[in-house]
Structure 1
Amino acid sequence: MLEARLLATVSRLAGPVRGACVVLVSLFGAFSLNSALGWALFAIVAVSTVADFWLPEVALPVAFLRVVVLSLLLGADADQWVLTVLTTTLITWQWQWPLKVTVPATAALLAVQVVTTGPGVLVRAVLESVLARLAYELLRRSSRRVDRLRERAAEQSRAAAVALDQGRREREYLALLHDTAAATFLMAAHGGDPDEVAAQARRDLVVLAERGDAEGTVDLGAALTAVARASSVDVRVQAEVVRVPAGVALQFVRAARELLTNVERHSGTSSARLTVTPGVVLVEDDGRGFVPGEVPEHRRGLTGSVVGRLEAVGGTAVVESAPGRGTTARLTWPADD
């Protein structure tokens, strides 16, 4: 993640930046004093920066003591030297440690400065510390926002790739459906031998089911919407995206086609409703209705073409109807399977 890498880099560089700046400032300070004390303090500062470069675990207390030593020994003789080292220390602290560490350390160091050199340092030191912390927080928030944008773009890319693959699989399956079932229907329409037609239909079902299991799932809502559009009945469709195995979708398609055919032939109405939700398909009409228990056994439309097909794939089909109250067919399949 960009945020983690960026903050780790800033924290890692804060110590060396502090050490380099402190050495450079102290060099100019020693030159300006041009005394034995100045050069001795420069040597002490140079040695102490070892912690800034290579010992981050003790860098904070070493930096604290370094500023205190300069303040006590130089006092007003080199106020710019002390002040610059102080502000450099406070600024880089904000980049290297969290607030729970820097706030008490900063307060303690400023208290020492007020005691040794007076309150004149407070305004500049506090202001620069606050600005350094704000810059750090802004950097962190910006990098976090970039991470979120990258994650969102990656999710969209993955979703587009999945949708593209699913679309390809569905097109392949529909093409296979056309090449198998359509040919069988054509054979039946031209008076083909019933045994041959039945055998061909069984082969088609095996091919489609095996291909469906190999290729994943199809959108049941889209498949049944296509069935409704091809029906001579005026069907009002409400379909969600419901992904089911291709073999299951095929049985739903055949059952729904049979139900819409029954609406056309027997209901006395020219309209119906088709609702597709996860696990449930409803086919409803407001026609004349009938008594399901009184349907003769030799009429296999409901039991064979609807109930039997759903049971073959682990689903159920329940038809509810009454004279004058229309008909509702409820097709279900376990959506979690």
Structure 2
Amino acid sequence: MPGVLLEARLLATVSRLAGPVRGAGVVLISLFGAFSTGSALGWALFAFVAVTAVADFRLPRVALPVAFVRVVSLSVVLGGEGQWVLTVLTTTLITWQWQWPLRVTVPATAALLAVQVAVAGPGVLVRAVLESVLARVAYELLRRSSRRVDVVRERAAEQSRAAAVALDRGRREREYLALLHDTAAATFLMAAHGGDPVAVAAQARRDLVVLAERGEAEGTVDLGAALAAVARDSGLAVRVSAEVVPVPAGVALAFVRAVRELLVNVERHAGTREAELTVSRGAVVIVRDAGQGFVPGDVPEHRRGLRGSVADRLRAVGGAASIDSEPGRGTTASLVWPHD
């Protein structure tokens, strides 16, 4: 979930403040206790409490044992009687519940109450236990409430994200349908009314470029039909065997440009006027000729046709291209796009 949850922030704040609240509380209680006793012993105990309160403010790792020793010392010296000892005891037990988990507070509370009972008797037991339980219950209620708030906030955020995605998807679909109407639909209408095949093919290629610019995720193109149009527009006699292979428009554009370059190479260098084009499922395209062939490794570096116009274009859309050729045995170019 993004951000810091309310539950985590709230509990961290409560835990962080529990120590200072305890330290400030026991210091004030001890100040009034020292005034009420009016003795040197009372002021000495106040000084002891003030010194130990430093751990509550600055040393949280040792605050629990220091608080334990502080309460036990007051109980032993004062005999466990009076409001001073009882108030320090309950303040300590309450703030423990806010700062540490049950596996720590339960044994610590039991040990402290055992000492208190041994020193002053069971008179304080009911009040101390009741206040400790109420403090823990309040802490757990706060924790559950903040957790419910987190759940509600996350659900609201998910609904907002889903609504935003749906709105954006709807907008993109409307834009893409409008683009199809302005490009492919117009080209189909031209072909249906007996338009010039060369003009229709040229228009189809322009439509493909425009559609590809919309991004690979916005619509698909039948790769077989697109490459069949390229073959018909070629100066070669191309035997075409093409299945219906839907691919993203950007991928189709890369195949169109690569196959056009391959057919141009056949026309210029192979010494034949015939070629074969196969488009099969899985986005596998084969361009084959029975021309004079060549050694692919002997192609100079500055000749960028096969490398730049074919291999690099397929690689840019996640595909691959390979050339198999030998002198006198023709050439076979394999283009693959792993659409799965």
Q: CA deviation at 1:30?
A: 1.7
Q: State the shift of 1:309 in Å.
A: 4.8
Q: Say what the alpha-carbon RMSD is for the aligned residues.
A: 2.7
Determine the C-alpha separation between the residues in 2 that align with 1:204 and 1:183. 10
Q: In structure 2, what is the Cα distance between the partners aligned to 1:28 and 1:83? A: 13
SS of the residue 1:69 aligns to: helix
Displacement after TM superposition at 1:168 (Å): 2.2
Distance in 2, matches of 1:53 and 1:190, equals: 88
**For residues 21 and 116 of structure 1, what CA distance do their matches in structure 2 show?**
23
CA distance in 1, matches of 2:9, 2:197: 71
Counterpart residue number, 2:213: 211
Alignment of 1:314 with 2:282, yes or no, is yes
Q: Distance in 2 between matches of 1:252 and 1:193?
A: 21
- Write the distance in 2 (CA, Å) between the matches of 1:50 and 1:17: 12
The equivalent position to 1:113 in structure 2, one of 109, 113, 116, is 116
Contact 2:223–2:244 (8 Å) recurs in 1: no
**Which residues of 2 match residues 115-194 of structure 1 at below 5 A?**
115-194=118-197
1:197 Cα deviation (Å)?
A: 2.6
Tell me which of 12, 27, 31 is aligned to 2:31.
27
User: Hey, what's the Cα distance between the residues in 2 that align with 1:23 and 1:172?
Assistant: 71
Deviation at 1:191, TM superposition (A): 3.2
Q: Which of 60, 65, 90 lines up with 2:69 in the alignment? A: 65
Report the alpha carbon displacement of residue 126 of structure 1 after superposing the two structures with TM: 0.6
SS in 1 for 2:194: coil
Partner amino acid, structure 1, of 2:29: V
Cα offsets for 1:98-135 (capped at 9, x unmatched): 11111110000000011000001111101110111111
Cross-structure match for 2:235: none
Moved more, 87-96 or 33-42: 33-42
Would the alpha carbon gap of residues 123 and 98 (structure 1) be closer, same or farther in structure 2, given more than 3 Å must change?
same
Aligned pair partner of 1:247 in 191, 195, 220: 220
Amino acid at match of 1:134: V
In the alignment, the residues of structure 2 paired with residue 192 and residue 203 of structure 1 have an alpha-carbon distance, to the nearest angstrom, of 16
Moved over 6 A (4+): 251-254
CA shift for structure 1 position 335: 11
Match of 2:308 in 1: none
SS at match of 1:57: coil
In the superposition, the TM-score normalised over structure 1's length comes to 0.64
Name the counterpart of 1:75.
Answer: 79
Percent identity of the aligned residues? Answer: 77
CA contact (8 A) 2:224 2:244 kept: no
Paired AA for residue 211 in structure 1: E
Measured after TM superposition, the shift of residue 251 of structure 1 is: 6.8
Does the 8 Å CA contact 1:15/1:53 hold for their aligned counterparts?
yes
* Equivalent residue letter for 2:67: A
Q: How far apart are the structure 2 equivalents of 1:153 and 1:57?
A: 39
8 Å CA contact 2:245–2:282 kept in 1: the answer is no
* Counterparts of 1:129 and 1:253, CA distance in 2: 78
Which residue identity lines up with residue 45 of structure 1 in the other structure?
V
Q: TM-score, normalised by structure 2?
A: 0.63
Equivalences, count? 238
Cα displacement (A) at 1:164: 2.4
Structure 2: distance between partners of 1:148 and 1:190: 60
Contact 2:75 / 2:85 at 8 angstroms: preserved in 1? yes
Asked if the contact 1:173–1:211 (Cα under 8 Å) also holds between the matched residues in 2, the reply is no
- Counterpart CA distance in 2 for 1:164 and 1:251 is 30
